Chain A
């Protein structure tokens, strides 16, 4: 069974700062199957990154994804007020077929 771990659990930063979020898989995975989502309070998740590093349509270029194997990173280069939210990584494959990480909350310092 694949397990995803995200760190840190909470990241307290100020607008304009850089955010680095980590997602670690329990086994090596294909980067094709790793995606990142943003969830603002009271809203459904929104796709940010797919294939570990490809930005979804309409996503600002301050969001970037990288990584391979078991370690993946979501970077927000300069935080805007609307970026304070919870971020989930998600993996496709194995059992269960779809797995979400526990999330990282980015809140205002």
Chain B
């Protein structure tokens, strides 16, 4: 069974960089046909796709966040990571990592989510 687990600081100061890591088990992030994504959800609100990384390391970002986001991977650890710079209170949210199936075109596995609060 594929499992994803987010990890990282739960509190980040304004103007600093938010960093999260997603550790994948039960599947290799190097497997073809899949992309590895980050999605966030402010409390009581909807889902916002942040971006994704392919097995070849190419990335796609939501244009609304593209100037602040970097997604990278570490295949030796079977992990991928999110960095979001210059954060403000508006970036406070639950951050999910998820696997995107590019053949059937859907998110099939999700992490449990990691709450990140931006506050001084």
Contacts and interface: CB of A to CB of B under 8 A. Distances in A.
Residue with the greatest number of chain B CB neighbours at <10 A, chosen from A33, A50, A98: A98
A44 B111 contact: yes
A11 interface: no
A101 B46 contact: yes
Contacts of B34: none
B49 A97 contact: yes
Given A33-B105, A47-B107, A90-B107, 5 more contacts: A44-B113, A45-B107, A50-B105, A51-B104, A96-B64
A99 B49 contact: yes
Interface residues of B, number: 22
Given A44-B112, A44-B113, A96 B49 contact: yes
B47 A51 contact: no
A56 interface: yes
Contacts of A35: 105-107
A51 B36 CA distance: 20
Interface of A: 32-33, 35, 37, 43-47, 50-51, 56, 88, 90, 92, 95-103
A32 B107 contact: no
Nearest to A46: B110
A47 B111 contact: no
A44 B46 contact: no
B106 A50 contact: yes
6 contacts: A35-B107, A44-B113, A47-B107, A50-B104, A50-B105, A100-B48
A46 B105 CA distance: 14
Residue with the greatest number of chain A CB neighbours at <10 A, chosen from B47, B100, B113: B47
A88 B98 CA distance: 16
A56 B63 CA distance: 29
B65 to A, nearest CB: 9
Given A44-B111, A88-B46, A98 B37 contact: yes
